[in-house]
Structure 1
Amino acid sequence: MKPRLVFVHGIGGPRDPAAELDAWLRALAEGARAAGHARRVLDLIQGWAADARFAYYGNLFDTAQGQGSASEGEDTDDLVGVLLREAVEVRLAEPATDDEVPLLRRAHAQLMPEGDPQGAGSVARHVLTASNTLLSLPGLRTFGGWASAGLMVGQLRQVTRYLRRGEKDEEGLSLDTRIRRRVEETLGPSGPTIVVAHSLGTVVSLEALHAHQGCVPLLVTLGSPMGMSTAVRPRMRPQPLQVPGSVERWLNFWDRDDFIVGRPRLEKVVGPNSLSVLPFTRRVDSDGAWVHPAAKYLAQPAVAGPVVEAIEAATRP
C-alpha cells in the first residue's frame, strides 16, 4: 500500500486543485533530482511513489465575511495590521539591504499612527497605506507577488479570518472548523501520511493533526507564520503549542527573504509530543525576489530530499 502524501496550501486566490497538485509534485521532483533522487522523479510526477493529494480549502474564503458586524471587519483589519507590524519589525532587525530601511520605517510609522482617532475605516485605511509602502520592496509586487495593496491585504485577511474563529455557517460551524475538516478529510483515517504544508496551511495542519489518528512519519512546514509571537502563535489551538502525537518527525523551513514568516526557531516555542519529537528548523535560500510560493521551497533539495526518503521508508514492508 502506497503512503499518502498530502499537500496543504496557504493564502492566495482561487486555485485548480488538480493543477496545483501537479505543480507541487513537479517542484518536489525538481528538488528530489537536486537531492540525488533522480530515479524517483518520474515516480513522483506520475503518482507511482505515493498517493498524492492536495487539500484545498481556498474556496471557503469566497463566502461573505459578513454575517458579522462592521466591528468584526474592523477587528480583522486590526489583526492584519498586527501581523504586518510584526513582519516589518522582524525585517528591520535584519534588512536585506540598506535601501529597505527607509521603506520599512515608513510602513511601521503608518501602522502605528499618532494622533489619528480610531473610527470606522481608520484601521483599514492605515493598513492599506502601509501595504502600498511595502509594495515598493523588491519582490512584493514586481516578481509575481501582490499586484496591489488591496490584493495583499485581502489575502492576509485569510490568516486573520481563520484565527478569529468566527464566520459560522448555517450549521453553526466556524470558518476555521470548516477549513480543518477539509484537511482532515484529505488526510484520511489511517495509514502512513507525509504532510507538506505551506504558509497558513502550516497553522491549519498543525491544528488538524491533533485530531488525526493515523501515523505521520514526516511533517514538513514551509514559510510558516507560526513563529510570529504576537499575531499568530498565541491565537493557535490548543495552547500551549505542542507537536501532535501522530507526528514522528517535523522539519520546518524558512527563507530569510520570505516576508510573512516568523523568525524564531519553532523548537524553542513548541513542546514535544509523547515521542519526544520537536520541530527542527532549517533556513533555505531561494533564487529570485519573490520566495514565498510553495514551489520555491519544494524545489530546494533540503526540502525534497527528506520527503522522498520518508516516502521510500513508508513504502518498505
Structure 2
Amino acid sequence: MFVHGIGGLRSAGQDQQRWLRALATGARASGHAESISALTQGWLADVRFADYSDLFTPRGAQGAAPGQELDPDDEQLLVGLLDAMLAELAEQSPPETGSREARVIGQARHHLDALASGSQAQGAGEFGRQLVWVTTTLLQLPGLRQTTQWVSGQAFALQLSQVARYLNRRGDRADLGAAIRARVLKGLDPSRPLVVVAHSLGTVVAYEALHAYEGQVPLLVTLGSPLALGGVVLQRLVPRPPLCPENVEAWLNFWDRDDVVVGRPRLADWIAPSSRGVKAESASVKSAGIWTHTATKYLEHGQVADPILRALLP
C-alpha cells in the first residue's frame, strides 16, 4: 500500500503508476530487474494507492486563501512546523557562513517571527498573508525555487497547512484525521500481510493508522517523514507515548539531507520500540536534481527499493 503526503487533489490511478515506475527504477538499480514486470503488472502483489486528498478539499477549496481553513490551534501548529523547518535549514546553512541560502533563511525567520508575534491578534486573512510571506521567501532557496512542486508561496502555504489541519486533535477538528485514517485502512484484509510505503504527511497518517490495524505488517517504509521534526509533530502523535506499532515487523526510514520538511534521523531515539523490540532504522539517501521531497525521488534509489522488493518476493 502506498500512502501519499501533502498536495492537491490526486488521481490515484495515475499516482500509483508513477510510484510503481519509480520503484521499478529502484528495483533495477538494486539488482531486481527480473521482478520489474511482476511488480508493475500487479503479479507480485496487489497494489493499492490510499488517496485521501479529497478530504482536505471537500468544498472545492483549491482556490481558498491560506489561513481560510485554519483555526487558532492550526495556526500555532503551522508556525511551529515552519520554525522546525527553518531550524533544520539553518543547521545546513548557518548564518555565519554568509551564504545566499543563509540570508534567505534569515529573511524567512524574520517573517516567521513577525507572524508568530501577531498570530493571536490577527484575523485569518492577515495570518494567511503573512504566512505567504514566509513561504514565498523560502521558495527563493535554490532547491525550491526551480521546482514545479509549488508554483507559488501561496500553493506552498496551502499544502503545508494540511499538516496542521491533520494534527489538530481538538474538538471537531479531530474528525478530519479520523476520516483520513479510516480512508487509508478501508478495504484492507487483515488476514494478508501488508507492506506499507508512506511519504511525507502520509508517514504520520500510516504510523497512526497502523496502531488501529489488526493485520501483520512485514515492512513499513517511511520516506521524507516529518515524524521526527521536533516536538511540533511528535507531541501530537497518537497513541501516546509514541512507539512503533506492535504489528510492524520491520521499519525503515529514509531521509535526504536536502529535503526541507524532514527531521534528521531521530526516530529511533524519539519513538520507542514495540514490545518486540522493533524500532525505526534510518538511512540517508542523496538524490540528484533540484527537488528531493517527492516520493518518486526516494523510490528510485536502489537502497529504498531493495527491501521493498525483498518483502514482496515469495
TM-score, normalising length from structure 2? 0.90
Closer, same or farther: CA 166–115 of 1 in aligned 2, 3 Å: closer
**1:75 corresponds to which residue?**
73
Query: What is aligned with 1:119?
Result: 122
Could you tell me whether the CA contact under 8 Å between 1:83 and 1:230 is conserved in 2?
no
Residue 26 of structure 1: aligned partner: 21
Q: Are the counterparts in 2 of residues 252 and 281 from structure 1 also a CA contact under 8 Å? A: yes
Deviations 1:256-314 (A, max 9, x none): 111111114200111111211010000001011111110000011010000000111xx
Inter-CA distance 27–115: structure 2 relative to 1 (3 Å threshold): closer
Shift of 1:141: 3.5
Instruction: Please tell me the root mean square deviation across aligned C-alpha atoms, in Å.
Output: 2.3
CA contact (8 A) 2:272 2:279 kept: yes
The gaps in structure 2 that reach 5 residues or longer are: none
The one of 82, 86, 89 aligned to 2:87: 89
Q: 1:3 matched to which residue of 2?
A: none
Unaligned stretches of 5+ in structure 1? 1-5
* Aligned counterparts of 1:236 and 1:144: Cα–Cα separation in 2: 31
What is the aligned residue count? 303
Task: For residues 224-259 of structure 1, give each alpha carbon's deviation from its aligned partner in whole angstroms, at most 9, with x where no partner exists.
Answer: 000112321111111111010100000000001111
Q: Percent identity, please.
A: 44
Q: Which has the higher helix share?
A: 2
The answer as to 2:123 corresponding to 1:128 is no
Corresponding residue for 1:150?
A: 154
The DSSP-based 3-state class of the residue aligned with 2:55 is helix
Q: What letter is aligned with 2:83? A: R
What is the SS of the residue equivalent to 1:100?
A: helix
Tell whether 2:98 aligns with 1:100: no
Residues 36-79 of structure 1 show CA distances to partners (whole Å, capped at 9, x for unaligned) of 1110011111111111111110000112489xx98953432332
Secondary structure at the residue paired with 2:15?
helix
Cα distance in 1 for partners of 2:244, 2:266 equals: 14
What secondary structure sits across from 1:236 in the alignment?
A: coil
Question: What amino acid sits opposite 1:9 in the alignment?
Answer: H
Matched with 1:193 is: 194
Change (3 A) 1:194 1:111: same
CA contact (8 A) 1:165 1:175 kept: no
Higher mean C-alpha displacement, 116-125 vs 253-262:
116-125
**2:177: which partner in 1?**
176
Identify which of 126, 137, 141 aligns with 1:137.
Answer: 141
Contact 2:132 2:154 in 1 (8 A): yes
After superposition, the Cα gap between the structure-2 partners of 1:71 and 1:179, relative to the gap in structure 1 and judged at 3 Å, is: closer
Partner deviation per Cα, 1:193-236 (whole Å, 9 max, x = no partner)? 10000000000001000111111110000000001123211111
Residue 188 (structure 1) shift: 2.8
8 Å CA contact 1:257, 1:289 repeated in 2:
no
Partner of 2:41: 46
Q: Which stretches of structure 1, 4 residues or more, deviate above 6 A after TM superposition?
A: none
Give the aligned partner of residue 274 of structure 1. 275
